[in-house]
Amino acid sequence: MNITFDNVKFKYIERFILDGASFSIEDGDKIGVVGVNGTGKSTLLKLIIGELTPLSGTITISGGTRINYLCQTPIFDKDKTLLEIVMEESTKDYPILEYEAVSMLSKMGFNDPNITTINFSGGQLKRVALAKVLVTKCDVLILDEPTNHLDNELICWLEKYLIKFKKALIMVTHDRYFLERICTKMLELDFGKTYTYQANYTNFLDLKAERLEREATAQKKLKAILKKEKEWMGRSVEARRTKQKYRIKKFEEMSEIKFNERQEMSLSSLDVRIGKKLISMKNGSKSFGDKVLFNDFTFDLNKDDIIGVVGDNGAGKTTLFKILMGEEKLSSGELVVGETLKIGYFSQHMELIDPEIRVIDYIKEERSLIETLEGTIDAKTLLERFLFDSNLQYSKVKTLSGGEKRRLQLVRVLSSNPNILLFDEPTNDLDIYTLEILEDYLLSFNGPILVVSHDRYFLDKICNRLFIFNNSHIDESLKSFSEYLEEDNQETKLNDNTKNLSYKEQKELKKKNKFPSKLENELKDLEREIPNLEEKLKNLKEDNSISPIDFEALIKHQEEIDTLSNEIDIKSTRYLELLEMKEGML
């Protein structure tokens, strides 16, 4: 066992973030931390690394445990080179070889390890930090939103890397595919309490639903008892004299109970009239000097379009949005924008919000009264619908968590009642609950939507069309984003393996290059065997039947554990080899 929380409490001002949290992180755990923005996910990680101190309770970390931590907004010495930064934690006992550091930086998109971070964007700094934590040896790897600012190729690579990772992993992420494929344990923060589930993301959703149903039933019964006790206490003074003292004391104790009244967030806006002429581009091109972002692009926007705009970082996706809003001009070509369009723009840059402004004033800057499907409401009521209570509304923006700031941006965009939406990386820092509400809203929105995102789950769920930035061109596709990625991956492998062959030779190779049935059967056998062996190992580790003074039995028991662990490692390595072989087939 590496890390244990025992009845830990922590609060900011009057707001409890953790209220008696107890859980453990064991060697080999792969834990996803989930909860609504502002519930303290990043705070929990900072408590683990010792950056924050609990109000009460204990956090125990096994001696010698090495922890690597990827924060949301890393800061580095601007005078140091990338190589120096990545190799900072290299020691005699835990060396980092220079070629490993250079290779990892290259994987993150940095081909020159001797440059500094002086002009780096937040996304570039995040990738440097990721390179550093991945090459530094550790027992526990902690990642706070690791997929933010990564392109799709790098996200897929990181996913495979973490699946193979042998040590303990705990991460906060909004990427539901990431959670589903990597994590085997979920840690939920809710009303200051922590709940652990031995489950991947899909099974966690079922188990959480069962928990909430049980809690609702228990609260309903408790409220009914409290109501009866209140009626009993309200009888005449004469009757009170005969009341049992313990019953009066019981009522007083029950009256102190605070019920977790769960607020529901809802998004709605009026259908604003939208004309027949929306947005059209004919032979549009955009370049900055010698760099061509896109060339000869023609499209017509339809009312029911939900378009995912995808491509590598720096390809020009945000620039396309600026062109549609009139903030940038086409280098050549024609752009026509309908006169009735009212664009709601969700920027990926949170620094556009004044940190000193109060939350409610940020919304009132847009408008004080907001038209909704239920009628006209004020800014205070709108913010309450988005889970900003009275205390938060009169707080300064700088006191909000990263996710709460994103949610605040969302409130302001929707309060203007737009009839077309441009969303630039809306999923960054938003919690999964808010994302699900946002997805339902977008699917029911009565107007076109263009969204830049690297979130595969989000794009698969809402988009009916893709704009793909690819080598200075924008291609269109009606496939889902996952289908496009799979097709693109297969095409890349085909090009790499057959680029020097004739068409006839490529065809012959494709026939021959099928995954052999013998290996397919071996792969299926391993898929069945490994979970059974892991369950057997778990039972062995939890077996307390051996006397602590029976040294021979203890040694034999440990040998069984070591043998089984070694067998699992060998079979897991073979399984991953076969899986990569299969994926590598044309």
How sure is the predictor about 104, in pLDDT bands with cuts at 50, 70 and 90? Answer: very high
pLDDT tens for 56-72 read 999 999 988 999 999 98
State the amino acid at position 483 in one-letter form: E
Q: What is the mean pLDDT of residues 319-343?
A: 92
Report the DSSP pairing between strands 15-25 and 30-34.
unpaired
Place of tokens 């004739």: 502
Reply yes or no on whether the pLDDT at 523 is more than 70: yes
Residue 541 confidence (pLDDT) above 60: yes
Which range in 134-138, 190-194, 206-210, 248-252 is most confidently predicted, on average pLDDT? 134-138
**Could you tell me if residue 262 is inside a domain?**
no
Find out whether 383 and 393 touch, Cβ atoms under 8 Å. Answer: yes
Residue 502 in this model has a pLDDT that exceeds 70? no
Task: Provide the edge-to-edge strand list for the sheet that holds 3-12.
Answer: 15-25, 3-12, 56-61
Contact between 352 and 372 (Cβ < 8 Å): no
| DSSP β-ladder status, 67-70 and 140-144 | parallel
Examine the pLDDT at 158 and tell me if it is beyond 60: yes
pLDDT over threshold 50, residue 411: yes
Question: In 3D, which of 348, 352, 335 has the Cα closest to residue 301?
Answer: 335
Helix ranges (H only) for 234-308 are 237-240, 245-255
User: In Å, what is the CA distance from 221 to each residue of 209, 224, 228, 246?
Assistant: 19, 5, 11, 20
pLDDT in tens, 217-247: 766 776 666 666 666 556 655 555 555 665 5
Q: Which domain holds residue 167?
A: 1-66+138-232
200 and 309 in a single domain? The answer is: no
- Does one domain contain both 121 and 215? no
At 454 the pLDDT is: 87
pLDDT-based confidence at 5, cuts 50/70/90?
Answer: very high
Tell me whether residue 250 is in a domain.
Answer: no
Q: Could you tell me if 305 and 405 lie in one domain?
A: yes
Residue 491 maps to a domain:
no
Residue 487 is predicted with a pLDDT of 78
**Would you say residue 503 lies in a domain?**
no
Instruction: Please compute, for residue 517, the number of CA atoms within 13 A of its CA located in the half-sphere on the CB side.
Output: 0
Split at pLDDT 50, 70, 90, the class of 358 is very high
Question: For position 1, which CATH number holds?
Answer: 3.40.50.300
Q: Given this model, what pLDDT does residue 202 score?
A: 87
pLDDT digits (tens, 9 = 90+) for 174-190: 888 899 999 999 999 98
Least confident of 7-16, 36-45, 143-152: 7-16
Q: What is the pLDDT of residue 503?
A: 47
More confident residue, 9 or 240: 9
- Among 85, 112, 137, the domain-final residue is 137
586 pLDDT tier (thresholds 50, 70, 90)? very low
Find the mean pLDDT for residues 446-464. 91
- Mean pLDDT, range 515-533, rounded to an integer: 83
Question: In which band, very low, low, confident or very high, does the pLDDT at 26 lie, cut at 50, 70 and 90?
Answer: very high
Pairing of strands 332-337, 185-190: unpaired
Assess whether 40 and 79 both reside in one domain.
Answer: no
Residues 6+ apart with CB under 8 A from 347: 409, 424
pLDDT at 219: 67
Name the pLDDT band for 575 (thresholds 50, 70, 90): confident
Whether 110 shows a pLDDT value over 60: the answer reads yes
Q: Note the pLDDT tens digit of each residue in 30-47.
A: 999 998 877 888 899 999
Residue of 477 and 558 predicted with greater confidence: 477
161 and 174 belong to one structural domain: yes
Q: What are the phi and psi torsion angles at 328 (to 5°)?
A: -130, 155
**What is the value of pTM for the model shown?**
0.68
Which of 21-25, 205-209, 238-242, 267-271 has the weakest average pLDDT?
Answer: 238-242
- Residue 249 scores a pLDDT above 90: no
Query: Which position has the higher pLDDT, 2 or 327?
Result: 327
Average pLDDT over residues 399-417: 84
Query: Residue 520 pLDDT more than 90?
Result: no
Bigger pLDDT: 53 or 504?
53
Task: Please check whether residues 147 and 164 belong to one and the same domain.
Answer: yes
On whether residue 326 sits in a domain, the answer given is yes
Which of 469, 431, 426 shows the shortest CA–CA distance to 445?
A: 426
- Could you list the beta-strand ranges (E) of 301-411: 306-310, 332-337, 343-346, 369-372, 375-378
Answer whether residue 155 shows pLDDT above 80: yes
Q: Is residue 549 part of a domain?
A: yes
Are 128 and 144 found together in one domain?
A: no
Among residues 456, 478, 500, the one where a domain terminates is 478
User: Of residues 195 and 414, which shows the higher confidence score?
Assistant: 195
The lowest-confidence range among 225-239, 378-392, 471-485, 501-515 is: 501-515
More confident residue, 6 or 216: 6
What per-residue confidence (pLDDT) applies to 56? Answer: 93
Domain count, the chain: 4
Q: Is the pLDDT of residue 546 over 90?
A: no
User: What pLDDT score does 269 carry?
Assistant: 59
Burial class of residue 453 in the structure, from the number of CB atoms within 10 Å of its CB (0-12 exposed, 13-18 middle, 19+ buried): buried
Same domain, 311 and 441: yes
How far is residue 452 CA from its own chain's centroid? 16
Q: Which of 137, 164, 187 is the last residue of a domain?
A: 137
Same domain, yes or no: 120 and 26: no
| Averaged pLDDT, 391-406 | 85
Q: Looking at the structure, tell me whether residues 443 and 296 fall in a common domain.
A: yes
- What percent of the chain clears pLDDT 70, i.e. is strictly above it? 83
Average pLDDT, the chain: 83
213 and 287: one domain? no
Same domain? 452 vs 342: yes
Query: CA-based angle 359:364:366, to the nearest 5?
Result: 115
